[in-house]
């Protein structure tokens, strides 16, 4: 497993998230990323280069709540589209993201979940097993992120760690 950092604060959290990734670099990784809640919108930066390059990208990405990730690809090549955080905007296209999620590990039943979620109208932007979790949490979300995550993990098989936050609950990371 590589690395996950998450934080909620009353000041810009991005430098803390990036410093967290820097401290996890020794574990090895092929890509990295950070997502924040910024004025009611979820924003992210992702890189297939080093954390230092991600740091340069995040200069214009302030936020008080966020998650960050170093990836060691298991499902899907080490590309920017496959780098975490992954977003879910709900079924259909053309909307802003509601759920942001990072994940270390493997979801063994992701193909079955992907088929079900695609059938429900979710559009996939990556080849990862991770993206199914973001869409599943979105599908199960009824106003309480913790409950949605609890319900989602009951459907996941594998060994993994995740961190999630939601546009509609700006001061919470699960
Ligand atoms: N299975 C996930 C992926 O390929 C997570 C890999 C990891 O642990 O970094 O994106």
CA 128 / ligand 1 centre spacing (Å): 7
Cα 112 from Cα 97, distance rounded (Å): 23
The predicted structure's pLDDT at residue 39? 87
Lowest mean pLDDT among 56-60, 64-68, 135-139: 56-60
List Cα–Cα distances, 78 to 5, 29, 61, 115, 141, in angstroms: 20, 9, 23, 23, 29
**Helical segments of the chain, H only:** 14-24, 51-57, 110-119, 130-140, 145-153
The predicted structure's pLDDT at residue 1? 59
The predicted structure's pLDDT at residue 59? 86
CA 163 / ligand 1 centre spacing (Å): 13
Among protein residues, the one whose CA lies closest to atom 5 of ligand 1: 104
Encode pLDDT of 107-124 as tens digits.
Answer: 999 999 999 999 999 999
Mean pLDDT of 30-57: 96
CA 167 / ligand 1 centre spacing (Å): 23
Cα 147 from Cα 65, distance rounded (Å): 19
CA atoms within 13 A on the CB side of 144: 4
Any atom of ligand 1 within 6 Å of the Cβ of 128: yes
The predicted structure's pLDDT at residue 116? 98
Mean pLDDT of 119-139: 97
Angle at 66 (CA atoms; ends 89, 104), nearest 5 degrees: 80
Mean pLDDT of 28-41: 95
Any atom of ligand 1 within 6 Å of the Cβ of 2: yes
Which atom of ligand 1 is nearest to 83's Cα? Answer: 10
The predicted structure's pLDDT at residue 13? 96
Give pTM, 2 decimals. 0.96
CA 126 / ligand 1 centre spacing (Å): 12
- Residue 82, pLDDT > 70, answer yes
Please identify which residue in the block is written with the tokens 């609950």.
Answer: 169
Any atom of ligand 1 within 6 Å of the Cβ of 105: yes
Any atom of ligand 1 within 6 Å of the Cβ of 106: yes
CB count within 10 Å of CB 87 equals: 22
Mean pLDDT of 114-135: 97
């Amino acid at each position: 497993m590589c690395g996950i950092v998450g934080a909620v604060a009353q000041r810009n959290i991005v430098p803390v998230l990036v410093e967290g990734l820097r401290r996890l670099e020794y574990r090895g990784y092929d890509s990295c990323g950070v997502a924040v809640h910024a004025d009611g919108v979820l924003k992210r930066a992702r890189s297939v280069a080093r954390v230092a390059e991600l740091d340069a990208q995040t200069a214009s990405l302030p936020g008080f709540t966020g998650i960050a990730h170093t990836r060691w690809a298991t499902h899907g090549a080490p590309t920017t589209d496959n780098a975490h955080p992954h977003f879910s905007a709900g079924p259909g296209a053309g909307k802003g993201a509601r759920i942001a999620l990072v994940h270390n590990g493997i979801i063994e039943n992701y193909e079955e979940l992907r088929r079900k979620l695609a059938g429900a109208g979710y559009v996939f932007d990556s080849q990862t097993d991770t993206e199914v979790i973001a869409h599943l949490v979105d599908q199960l979300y009824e106003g309480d992120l913790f409950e949605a995550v609890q319900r989602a993990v009951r459907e996941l098989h594998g060994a993994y760690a995740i961190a999630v936050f939601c546009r509609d609950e700006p001061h919470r990371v699960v």
